[in-house]
Structure 1
Amino acid sequence: MSTPLFHEHLFHDSAATSEFAVRLSALLHPGSVILLEGGIGAGKTHFARSLIQARMAVSGVVEDVPSPTFTLVQTYDDAEGEIWHADLYRLTHPDEVDELGLIDAFEDAICLVEWPDRLGDLTPEHALTIEFSATKTEGERHARFICPTPEWAARVEEALT
């Protein structure tokens, strides 16, 4: 695997984070995996919700998109296939990830994974990682993008412009 490419961006409010998620959603395809890192309240679920709602809207579906904190995984069907939104916070061992079916989904679904540190050695090498952190300004988020391939770097750059 090549050396990851890093990008950083400051989203000035939650609307800017949502706009980025909407633009990035159009650039995804089955097999796209996004790992969402950051503490509680950093903006992971807000980003995932915006991205999923944008994908569903293309199919004419309005979706509520609840946090999968208690269900661990929520799945959605859009025009291209499945979207998996996973929150692994409550997992205690990487073996539990396989039981959820998430490993197979990495190959043929769009996957958004919160708390990806729980994946351990099961972390897909081809995944985009977004590290979110809140700033002292209400609604403002700093994002650090770790792009494992030039293709991911190009998608991030396109969605940021």
Structure 2
Amino acid sequence: MTKFISHSEEETKKLAQKIASNSKKGDIIVLCGELGSGKTKFTEGFLEYFNLQDELSSPTFTIVNEYDTPDFPIYHFDVYRLEDTDEFYAIGGDEYFQAGICIIEWGEKIEELLPESYLKISFSRDFEDSDIRILTMECFGEYKLKEV
């Protein structure tokens, strides 16, 4: 488990860019945390690495947005509104896992459906300083986190 203290949205985005620079097709990144904890800013930074920052839109109502890179697609999920895991299967969510990189906001809601290898990042706020975020990164299965 690795902890990262972010003092700003920019630091969160820079961390995301470092992780993006080492990402490959088939990687799954699960983002967990309360509303406003930095999950979408992380995704914004991740997409910036691939020059896709102008295309970012929240998939809250569509559940998944697809972004194309020259080598593979990036799938950005927001599963907050799903009532249960059956809804994830109903949209074919599991079919995306090997097709590109998946970033899943509120991924704890579907954790039982995830393949064995993924990166889970839990976002929490510092109660004394509202700008600070604590990101706890945990690798599962064969997923290896490069130095961040």
| TM-score, L = length of structure 1 | 0.84
Rounded Cα–Cα distance in structure 1 between residues aligned with 2:29 and 2:53: 22
Unpaired segments ≥5 residues, structure 1: 1-5
AA aligned opposite 1:77: D
Task: Give the structure with the higher percent helix.
Answer: 1
2:11 pairs with one of 16, 33, 39: 16
1:53–1:65 Cα contact (<8 Å) kept: no
Q: Tell me what 2:113 maps to.
A: 122
Rounded Cα–Cα distance in structure 1 between residues aligned with 2:53 and 2:18: 17
Q: Tell me what 1:74 maps to.
A: 65
Q: Tell me what 2:34 maps to.
A: 39
**Within the alignment, does 1:145 sit opposite 2:140 as a pair?**
no
Provide Cα deviations, 1:131-160, integer angstroms capped at 9, x if missing partner: 00111323211010111257523x2xx2x2
SS in 2 for 1:108: coil
Rounded Cα–Cα distance in structure 1 between residues aligned with 2:142 and 2:84: 32
Q: How has the CA–CA distance of structure 1 residues 79 and 91 changed in structure 2, closer, same or farther, with 3 Å as cutoff?
A: same
Unpaired segments ≥5 residues, structure 2: none
**Within the alignment, does 1:100 sit opposite 2:95 as a pair?**
no
1:29–1:80 Cα contact (<8 Å) kept: no
2:119–2:143 Cα contact (<8 Å) kept: no
Q: How has the CA–CA distance of structure 1 residues 144 and 98 changed in structure 2, closer, same or farther, with 3 Å as cutoff?
A: same
Q: Please, what is the CA RMSD of the aligned residues?
A: 1.6
AA aligned opposite 1:15: E
Q: Tell me what 1:86 maps to.
A: 77
Shift of the alpha carbon at 1:62? Answer: 5.2
